[in-house]
Each structure stands twice: as C-alpha cells, then as structure tokens.
Amino acid sequence: MQRAFFRSALLAQQAAAALDSPLGARSAPLLQRLDRCMSSVTIPPPSCLLRPLEVPLRYLFGPGPSNVPPRVLAAGSRPIIGHLHPEMYEIMNDIKRGIQYAFQTENNMTIAVSGSGHAAMECAVFNTVEPGESVLIAINGIWGERVAEIAERMGADVHRLVKAPGGYFTTKEIEQAIEKHKPVLLFLTHGESSAGLCHPVDGIGDICRKHNCLFLVDTVASLGAAPIFMDKQNIDILYTGSQKALNAPPGTAPISFNDRACHKMFNRKTKPVSYFLDMTHLSNYWGCDGKPAREYHHTGPVSGFFALRESLAILAEKGLEESWKKHKEVAAYLYRGLEDLGLKLFIPERNLRLPSVTTIAVPSSYDWRELLAYIMKHHQMEMTGGLGPSMGMVMRIGLMGYNCEKTNADMALHALADALKNCKRRKA
C-alpha cells in the first residue's frame, strides 16, 4: 500500500514537471489521460459541457415565452444578493406594488410564486380547496383541463363545464352550473391561448358572490394585453405568468388573493397538499401576514425577481391603458394581413379574440407542421400549432409585450406568405 502511494506521488510530480517543460503544451492531452487514470472519478466530464454555450437568436412569435427587452435582460444579470437581505425585501415590495397595479387590486395578499404559471395555478387550487370539496371548472381549451386535473389529484370533487375550443360561456350557463354543483370555487381562463379567445369576465364575480363561491381567473396569456380589473370585477383569486406580455423570462408567477379567498385559505381543516406552495409560509416570505420578521421558507429566484421587477417597471412607465391599446392595434393590423393572405381567423367574433395570441384556422390544403417547420428553418421564427384540444385545428401567432410591434407583424406575415408559396399543397 505504501509503495503504491509513493508511486502515485512520483507520477504526480513527474506530471507537474512535464507541464513546466517546453514539451508541456504538446504533452497536455497525454497528461490529462494520466490524471484521469489516477482519479477515483469513473464518469468523465460530459464533452458537451466542455464547449461554450451557444443559443440561437430567434423571433419568438408563438404563444410564449416572448422575446425579452435588453433592459430586462440587463436587470436579470445584476450581481446576486441574498434572498433574505433587506435590499431583496425592498425589491419584493416593489414587485408586490407592480402586481397590484397590473391586476388593478388593493389586495394585501399579493405575491410572485417561484415558478411558472403552473405553479401559481397549483398555488391557487391547493390553498383554497380541500379534499372532497366541489369545484367547477370552465373548460374551453387546455388550461381548464389542466386545472381540472390538478384539482382531481388533490382530491376535490371536480365538475366540468365544457365548450369546444374557441367557445365561451354565458353568465346564465355559469349560474345554472353553480346552482347545480354548489362549488366552493369556479375557475375560468381569461386568455385561453390554446384557442386565441379572450373570455368576457363581467358579471361572473357577482354570480359567485351570490352563491358563496370563489372566482379564480387565469390571465397568463392576457395580462398587460387585454383589460382586467380584479377588484371591480369581483375576482377573488387572479394569477399570471412572467413570460408573455409582461416581458420577463419564465420562472415567476404573480398571484393575488382577496379577503374572501384569504378567509377560506386560512381557516382550513387540513393543510395544503404542497409545503412549497403553502400560503401560510409564502405570505410571511412576502411580508403579507403582518408579522414583524420574515422567516426562511425557500430560496427565491433572485435574478428572476430582478427581471420581474424591471418588467413591471416598464409596464408602469408605459401605463396599462396604453399597453392594452397597443396590443389591440397591432392585433387588428395582423388580422388584416392574415385575411389578405387568404387565411381564416379561428375566432370569428372580433371582440372575443385574444390580442396577444392570434389563432388561424389550419389551411385545409397544407400540412400545418410543414408550414411551421419551414418558417423556423428559413426565418428563424417560432409560430406554433394548437395545444391540447385545439391541436390540429389552429396555428398560433403571438405578438405580445416587447414583440408587440407592427414591424414584427410584417415579419410574421412575410414568413407565412413565403411558407404558403413554397410548401407543398395536399391534393384535394
């Protein structure tokens, strides 16, 4: 054993000396192999990680994420600070105020969940619904389907109110379903990006209050692009994602609970099924519970919070009404261009179209996958097909936030025209 130790030490000395010699550079690969032979590590470093990171420049004109402005990228690259530092708490306070503005709410219980929009979706359901309780899910695309599955997984009694993609629910249909199933919570998607629908919200919150039911609304694809008024429209729980019209990278998800939701949430008989998403802890982490000290719960995405804070600052500087107006104008410009190409818009009623994500009915004489692949290959541009129940029915173009410009609409229209010209038509 001792002889082997001295032999290894001698080999190491010889290797070090060789590196200092004129032949060191030429001998380096051999010495690296020798070093590996002496190592106790049996899995070598992956060769892919010994190359520099390469990320292509793409035009993200799909349903999200969208391209991020340089200002937000710069904010996200600032030096890391501790997630429990006073400066971090101040940034989190800024984020809270920005979300309150974007949601048009005075709710104290307003935070950003560490995670994507799905994290906020689960946070809403896990905290306000207990196993065995009745919930009503309005499904007219993939997001209602997702919430229904989440609620079922945690043991809720799930009732589905279903329309085909692009369909919408009348207040009469909603009230009849609430009277029948007596849910503790109703879910509705404001911006159904899988179908390109912006669902009317007025009056639904009043119905929910009448029947002692919480009103949960998903605005991941619509916030900043279409009007929403959490307090005025009596929405009890509202959430969104950072990566669409808010201009930030994916990974943070604003959510807000009003007093009705908080009363239900903090008077549970059972603990929420998720520790990570338990609002008892998250409300303290975000300084919403009135306690003098914030305690450690998890390490928040510090750089993501920097970026989210900057994206909310951009929205505040521009103004919500101006943002809504611009998304509506650019969408209308895109509609005209698509119709000039002979394409059919999937949502016939103009006032029900989601300004941030436009859906085109798949042209019957083309393979939609081939069209999208051509656009990506020749134009470095992402557009997408449908999702969930709208798969095969639509193609989706997203022009939101930083990408919401008529020049980008022109680029998208040019790419589509090129694809329609060069992709093979199917025989009738």
Which residues contribute to the annotated binding site for substrate?
396
Give the span between the Cα atoms of 152 and 163, in whole angstroms.
20
20, 343 in Cβ contact below 8 A?
Answer: no
Q: Which residues contact 396 (CB under 8 A, 6 or more apart)?
A: 62, 63, 193, 194, 196, 357, 358, 359, 360, 383, 384, 385, 386, 387
Judge whether 386 and 393 are in contact, CB under 8 Å.
yes
Using a 10 angstrom Cβ sphere, with 0-12 exposed, 13-18 middle and 19 or more buried, the burial of residue 266 is middle
How many CB atoms are closer than 10 A to CB 212? 12
Count helices and strands (H / E) in the chain.
Answer: 14, 14
d(CA 22, CA 34): 19
Contact 41, 263 (CB under 8 A): no
Query: Going by DSSP bridges, is the β-strand pair 191-192/197-198 parallel, antiparallel, or unpaired?
Result: antiparallel
**Crossing angle for the helix pair 86-103 and 302-318, to the nearest 10 degrees:** 40
Cis peptide, bond prior to residue 272, ω within 30 of zero: no
Give the separation between CA 51 and CA 209, rounded to whole angstroms. Answer: 58
CA distance 311 to 395: 28
Q: Are 243 and 66 in contact (CB under 8 A)?
A: yes
**From residue 174, how far is each of 183, 204, 214, 353 by CA, in Å?**
11, 8, 13, 21
> Mapped to the 3 state alphabet, what secondary structure does 319-357 carry?
CHHHHHHHHHHHHHHHHHHHHHCCCCECCCCHHHECCCE
In the block, residue with structure tokens 């029948």: 180
Instruction: Specify binding-site residues.
Output: 396
Give helix 142-153 / helix 117-128 axis angle, nearest 10°.
Answer: 40
